[in-house]
Structure 1
Amino acid sequence: MKFYQRLAYYLFGCTIGAIFVYYMIGGKDVGCSYFPNARVLKDIRRKPAVYSDSARMLMQVLKIDTADVRKIMTYGDVDFGRSNKPTQGGKLYIVEGRNKQNEPIEVAVVNGSEKVLIKSFTKLK
């Protein structure tokens, strides 16, 4: 069998396999969160968020809105050196991100089993 015939068989098999995989997984909401940062942020985003009273006041003072918090919880970076510490109600995570004005913001979040408590905000320099 010549090379171009083997290549044709190979490409035909790959095409059939790709079509099969597309129909098996195509309609499902499948995502991959392999890295620790992505897993923690995904776990935080899937639970309902509750703001503490001090966090609500800091949101007004620092001019942060819920869209900024969502952006930080989607694209932020978890500081694992200061995070993953057990506290009352869950584990404390420090998430660093940027708001709409591109200013660095740090959010302290307590990740519980049923809900997420957003404790405080800090504007970084």
Structure 2
Amino acid sequence: MKFIHRLGYYLGGFSIGLIILAFFLSGKKTSCDYGPNARTTKNLSQKVKLYSEEALTTMRTFEMDTTMVSDMIRYGTVNFSESDTKTESCKTYILENSFKEQNFRLQIKNCDSIATIESIVPFKND
């Protein structure tokens, strides 16, 4: 069999497979969160959030609401080197993101069903 025929069969089967895959995955809430940052931010953003008094004070100072903080969590970057991921019960994550041209560092305690935002601190990039 010539190479062009083999290539045609391969591309035909590949395209049929893509169509079948698109059909089965359409309409479902599927996502490809394979990286550690994506898994962590997805996990935190799906939980019920509680806010400490310190976090609420910072939110009032910088005129943030809970929707903006949720977006900061969803699109933030987890600083794993400063996070405490070794504890068994509740892990503490440090997320970094910006809001209104200001960089913020969020400290979030991630328990089984609740994520507690312990602090929101402005910082400058080094």
Q: Report the TM range for the smaller structure's normalisation.
A: 0.7 to 0.9
SS in 1 for 2:50: strand
Which residue matches 1:45?
A: 45
Report the CA distance shift for 1:19/1:86 in structure 2 as closer, same or farther (over 3 A).
Answer: closer
- Residue 57 of structure 1, CA deviation: 1.5
Residue-by-residue CA offset, 1:59-88 (whole Å, 9 max, x unaligned): 11233222331221111111111112567x
TM-score under structure 1 length normalisation: 0.85
How many residue pairs match? The answer is 124
Rounded Cα–Cα distance in structure 1 between residues aligned with 2:115 and 2:81: 20
Which residue matches 2:105?
A: 106
TM-score under structure 2 length normalisation: 0.85
Residue-by-residue CA offset, 1:77-119 (whole Å, 9 max, x unaligned): 11111112567x61111111001x1210111111010111111
Structure 1 gap ranges (5+): none
Rounded Cα–Cα distance in structure 2 between residues aligned with 1:17 and 1:61: 53
Which residue matches 1:19?
A: 19
Superposition RMSD on alpha carbons, in Å?
2.1
Q: Residue 86 of structure 1 contacts residue 92 of structure 1 at CA under 8 Å; is this kept in 2?
A: no
Which residue matches 1:62?
A: 62
SS in 1 for 2:117: strand
